[in-house]
Amino acid sequence: MTDAAVGELRAAARALCVETAPVEFGLANYDLAGALLDRDAPTDELEEAAQAAARALLVFTPQELPDLFAGASDRLGQAQWRAGRRDDANRTYGQTAGALGAVGQHGLQARLLAGYARAAGQAAATDDPFSIRQAVGVFDTAIAAARMAEATGLLVSLLNGSGRLLASNPASADEALSRFDQAAEAADDAEVGVAMAVHANRAAAYGLRERGDRDTNLQEAIASYNRAVHLPGISEHPVEAAHLYRALGMAWGQRPGGDRAQNLRQADGALAAALELLPNNAPPSERASMWSERGLAQAELSQRGIPGATSAAVEAFRKGLKAASGGEATPLAAQLANNLGSAIMTAAGQGLEASLAEAAEALDRAAQLWMSLGQPEDAGASQLNAGLVYMTLHSTEQDGAHLDNAIERLQGATAARPLATHPAPHAVAQFNLGMALAFRAQGSDETDLVASVEAFRAALQVWRGPDAPPQAAVAHANLGSMLLGMAKQNEPELLRDAAYHYEQALAVYTPATNPQQHQVISNNLALVRRRQAAGNGSV
């Protein structure tokens, strides 16, 4: 309200006398107190509001004008509370609520105490259990009045509000759940906005609950979200409904029990409903997040061999990336680009129609975004996958530019995740770099041959012993062949190293497990032995 309007109310209140015009006097002071409280008033104006409300109470009594008595009492209590006079506010609310109860005005009593409870709840510090408990005590007084007045909507709101306060302290989580349970029993008869909040809070509390069986808790959360999304009138609240469907999808996705594939289908269905309800003017990041979550659910279904899931994952990540485009670099956009590229790689590996060029473009974009965000480790993961895609493109199109791109990306991957801090991913990147360099060398380019040998050796620094992955044998076999090719003058050291790596490969490629590879490597080893003998001057 403007200063001029407040000034007019002040003048009207001063011009009236309680003895000659009591009702007008009371109403003028009542309005003045309300006008001052509607503003972001300084302490002196809050004191003025308290005085105006107190003057109104000289006229309004709980017996004759209970509505105005309750309103003036609330304004007095608000002014005292906001001015820091908490003890005075406590007395005001307690005395006036008692006066209303004494004349049977329990509905007004409950509404008055509800306002007091909400103020106390807002002032309670979430890291101070004592202040939370004090605020909950105020809520309990209001809850008792609401029960007496049979004010269902107000009761639900108060149970919900006190439950949220209790939920802020893990030690009182089960007490909070008890209140949410009580609120949920009556919530469907309350206004739809209140009912949605109750079911959502109950669901969230069960989703975060640390005690009890995790799957049972999540089933309770799912049941509450389902009740919320099927409330009559929810279509008038599309944003809130979209958020509820999204939370429902997340709860299904987190369930550890039941049929995992069915849980994921339920999660995807809920997320699809969320996207359909989300208004067009919703933040792009919110839409992108929902598409990302759908993509992850479909990607896991793809891993389980569910038909159509891989293509659905590709489409979800593609739409999510489109929604995330155009803004500043964000981790979500980078992750969507990376996941899109990976999903297309999976589709191609399954023989589905897939554009590897799109995969490479998405992975390159992911790497650029990760680097701009100062996250080189994540960029390295995207560069590794981009390198693999470019190698596949080279094998199908025989375009040397693809191989050059692969080598560049794989070199970036080794630098982004160095041996000292990321040994396992560093080894994978070095192995694939060695393969790409060997392809480009074609056995004749000395520079690429040497670089390939160095890359394989770097991978084998990590891949040692019985826990080495199968790729270690491939690295040994390739390393043996390149060293053999480099030993043009039967250099003893090169031949000795070649023999060693062939022997390491043969320890894995046995006649029983890999007869063809065993024969090829055995022949190569025999050639090394002959050349060693020739170099030693023996036949």
Query: Could you list the mean pLDDT of each consecutive 10-residue stretch along the chain, which spans 539 residues?
Result: 83 88 93 89 89 93 92 92 89 91 90 87 79 87 89 88 85 88 82 88 88 93 94 92 96 96 98 96 94 98 96 97 86 97 96 94 97 96 97 93 97 96 96 95 85 96 92 95 89 94 94 94 95 72
Chain centroid to Cα 21, Å, comes to 62
pLDDT digits (tens, 9 = 90+) for 152-191: 888 888 998 898 888 887 788 888 899 999 888 888 777 8
Give me the residue label for tokens 């056995």.
Answer: 443
Contact between 516 and 505 (Cβ < 8 Å): no
pLDDT at residue number 65: 92
Q: Which long-range contacts (CB under 8 A, 24 or more apart) does 96-102 make?
A: 96/57, 96/62, 96/69, 96/70, 97/73, 97/141, 97/145, 99/62, 99/69, 100/62, 100/66, 100/69, 100/70, 101/145, 101/148, 102/62
pLDDT at residue number 32: 92
pLDDT at residue number 120: 84
CATH assignment of 1-104, among 1.25.40, 1.10.10, 1.10.3470, 2.40.50: 1.25.40
Q: Residue 245 belongs to what H/E stretch?
A: helix 238-254
DSSP letter for 234, please.
G
> In angstroms, rounded to a whole number, what is the distance separating the alpha carbons of residues 173 and 157?
18
Contact between 359 and 341 (Cβ < 8 Å): yes
Give me the residue label for tokens 């009559």.
Answer: 232
> In angstroms, rounded to a whole number, what is the distance separating the alpha carbons of residues 73 and 93?
7
pLDDT at residue number 539: 46
pLDDT at residue number 442: 85
Give the global pTM. 0.78
